[in-house]
Structure 1
Amino acid sequence: MSAKENLGDYYADTAYTPTKRQHWEEANPERDTIIGSRLSWSRRTQDNGTNEEYGYNNIAISQNWEDQRVEKSLEGDDIFKGMKVCYDHQSIMPPNYTSMAKYLHITMAFSIGFFCLFLFVLCLIIFGALLFWVLGSEDFSYFYEMSRDGFYYLIPLILPCLMLWKGGRYIERKYPEVFFGMRKGPLWQANRKTGLFTIYEPKNAWEKRLEAPFWEYDAFLQSSPDTQGSATYSLILYHPFQQVRQKLDAQFPPTKMPGELVAAWQFLQRYMDVSQPLPDVPGLEIHRHKDPATAAADERKGRNPSYWRDMDEASVKKIQEEKYRKNIRLR
């Protein structure tokens, strides 16, 4: 008996269950593919998620979004139109940042990283020279010259990084509409209630490029080199017959740990699967009672409705670290 038959008319006929994917795979053994590692579909997905999904701050962020939704009386797609994000029991629509916002975020991230790196090298040079002087291996002139050269070569690198870092913080504080600039329409939507995964046109707000049942997509891990030549992985959904692909970076950021994105794929399958409860992560807890399959499962298990909210930050952090250690071993 299907989840729809069990739970009335809440879910659409297109709502996802693993059986539908299994039948689709059997009917389409030969299908188009793209470069990358194709990820498998689980018949019954484990309750898993990325490191970020288990962040303690997600409790407050989710509650803030819910308070805004209630205050503005938003439902369905109007949630994204009014708040530029949706993350609840019905759908996931991540923020769609403007190019300027993305540039500012990337620039500030690199400036912080290089500032710390150059400052560490400078401190290492000064400390090393000081150690040689104190131990008597070199005289004071050696310490002076090494320190002078360190400042001469590294301060011109440290100061611009510091200026970019603090400049980004200033823009974030004074001009949040620029720093957190978002487009009017979403990039994509994963809708648990309907079972549809929708890809939108990037340049035309809310114009659908493709809307298809979730089980018709294949998931891939694709790698690309970063600035240092190391492999960075992204999670991609690809429709093999429409030949349309969508990166999921906005919700599941690129990472050097492929296991984290395997966990992201498991999380997304679990989120869409109406034969199972929602993933048990902090950010979705306040929505669990609104989803019939989840509410029924929680009642059977006697789950504490405030399981995550009753924890202190250290306890949530411990669970988050345990999940992460498990995720990095996933393949």
Structure 2
Amino acid sequence: MSAKENLGDYYADTAYTPTKRQQWEEANPERDTIIGSRLSWSRRTQDNGTNEEYGYNNIAISQNWESQRVEKGLEDDGIFDGLKTHYNHQVIMPPNYKASAHFLFMAMAIGKGGMYLSLFVLAVSSVGLFLMAIFNGRIKDSFIAALGMAELTLPIALFLMVLWKGGEWLAKNKPNVIYGTRKGPLWQANRKTGLFTIYDPKKAWEKRLEAPFWEYDAFLQSSPDTQGSATYSLILYHPSQQIRQKLDAQFPPTKMPGELVAAWQFLQRYMDVSQPLPDVPGLEIHRHKDPTTAAADERKGRNPSYWRDMDEASVKKIQEEKYRKNIRLR
């Protein structure tokens, strides 16, 4: 069954293909814009994705979500109601975390990074004091100084480790605490209908805008972090309605703009029903459910469990290769 035939039976008339975007651009050459770098639309998007999309743990996460969906009998929007996220062959709808969850995520990141930094400082200081003792012969004084440094540094490192590991324990055993989510989503990308929906962040499930995917422009916007370095976010903007939506919930802000260019390529590929779904670990169990993807996989003789048959080290190697390519994207 061809992609063209699929458009008439499985996919909606509004499903996205590059031709529709090309026609829309020709009809709207002087459209409204916003501050930032406008990203181009590819006529045939390469199979790409961010570093996180190629994570080995996405295999288990996706299988767990699907098991819960089947067990609870969830369908359509009910999937988000039950799982607080939606990621399969039809819809991407990321979690809408509460402010408390964002704080906990930040605390875990600070704990992990701070612990390693504290131990690094202690190690460097100890080596430095040891070398000084060799040259000046004041071994006792250097030993006392090293003990003093350890007394100062180790409690800090221990506290930071508790912050990090405690957060990980909560994420595993008490997910409702660490992953506090709101009742309604932020946005939805629907491959089957070709619509991109933006929801009101304060009113659960109330739509601010629902429009064909090809009517949006993608932008990279930068803002300084606490050290003054540029941090980038991916934004979709509807020029006629003048409504924008950050995609941070699915594609987190980063200092590597190439990662978000890859995210934009991934999203185009995901929505383009003339091409198979992006070949990433988390979507593998759903590939056979999408007509275009199933037909392409059959033609290529793709192993249905390509990612699941790999060991973690092999997946991580591919992930690193993709990341090295992504950071060079512009």
TM band (smaller chain): over 0.9
CA contact (8 A) 1:223 1:232 kept: yes
Q: Deviations over 1:20-57 (max 9, x none)?
A: 11111111111111111111000000011111111111
CA contact (8 A) 2:231 2:253 kept: yes
Q: Which amino acid aligns with 1:300?
A: R
Q: Which amino acid aligns with 2:104?
A: L
Q: Distance in 2 between matches of 1:158 and 1:51?
A: 29
TM-score w.r.t. length of structure 1:
0.93
Q: CA deviation at 1:12?
A: 0.7
Q: Distance in 1 between matches of 2:3 and 2:175?
A: 43
Q: Distance in 2 between matches of 1:218 and 1:210?
A: 14
SS of equivalent to 2:97? coil
Q: Which residue of 1 aligns with 2:44?
A: 44
Q: Deviations over 1:77-118 (max 9, x none)?
A: 111111111110000001111111111111121122122212
Q: CA deviation at 1:4?
A: 4.9
Q: How does 1:1-331 map to 2 (within 5 A)?
A: 3-133=3-133, 135-144=134-143, 146-147=145-146, 150-151=149-150, 154=153, 157-158=156-157, 160-169=159-168, 171-172=170-171, 175-331=174-330
CA contact (8 A) 1:80 1:86 kept: yes
CA contact (8 A) 2:7 2:13 kept: no
Query: What is the aligned-residue identity percentage?
Result: 76
Classify 1:314/1:167 alpha carbon distance in 2 versus 1 (closer, same or farther; 3 Å). Answer: closer
Classify 1:87/1:182 alpha carbon distance in 2 versus 1 (closer, same or farther; 3 Å). Answer: same
Q: CA deviation at 1:173?
A: 5.5
Q: Distance in 2 between matches of 1:297 and 1:316?
A: 22
Q: Deviations over 1:271-295 (max 9, x none)?
A: 0000111111111111111111111
Q: Which amino acid aligns with 2:30?
A: E
Classify 1:6/1:95 alpha carbon distance in 2 versus 1 (closer, same or farther; 3 Å). Answer: closer
Q: Distance in 2 between matches of 1:239 and 1:319?
A: 35
Q: Deviations over 1:157-196 (max 9, x none)?
A: 5454345335434544564321111111111100000000
CA contact (8 A) 1:86 1:93 kept: yes
Q: CA deviation at 1:228?
A: 2.1
Classify 1:174/1:327 alpha carbon distance in 2 versus 1 (closer, same or farther; 3 Å). Answer: closer
Q: Distance in 1 between matches of 2:166 and 2:319?
A: 32
Tell me the number of residue pairs that the alignment of Structure 1 and Structure 2 aligns: 329
SS of equivalent to 1:212? strand
Q: Distance in 1 between matches of 2:201 and 2:316?
A: 36
Gaps of at least 5 residues in structure 1 are: none
Q: Deviations over 1:136-160 (max 9, x none)?
A: 3351254146425534664575454
SS of equivalent to 2:82? helix
Structure 1 stretch 220-229 or stretch 290-299: which is displaced more?
220-229
Q: Distance in 2 between matches of 1:113 and 1:238?
A: 34
SS of equivalent to 1:8? helix
SS of equivalent to 2:234? strand
Cα-Cα RMSD? 1.9
Classify 1:311/1:170 alpha carbon distance in 2 versus 1 (closer, same or farther; 3 Å). Answer: closer
Q: Distance in 2 between matches of 1:10 and 1:173?
A: 38
CA contact (8 A) 1:7 1:292 kept: no
TM-score w.r.t. length of structure 2:
0.93
Q: Which amino acid aligns with 1:330?
A: L
Classify 1:117/1:188 alpha carbon distance in 2 versus 1 (closer, same or farther; 3 Å). Answer: same
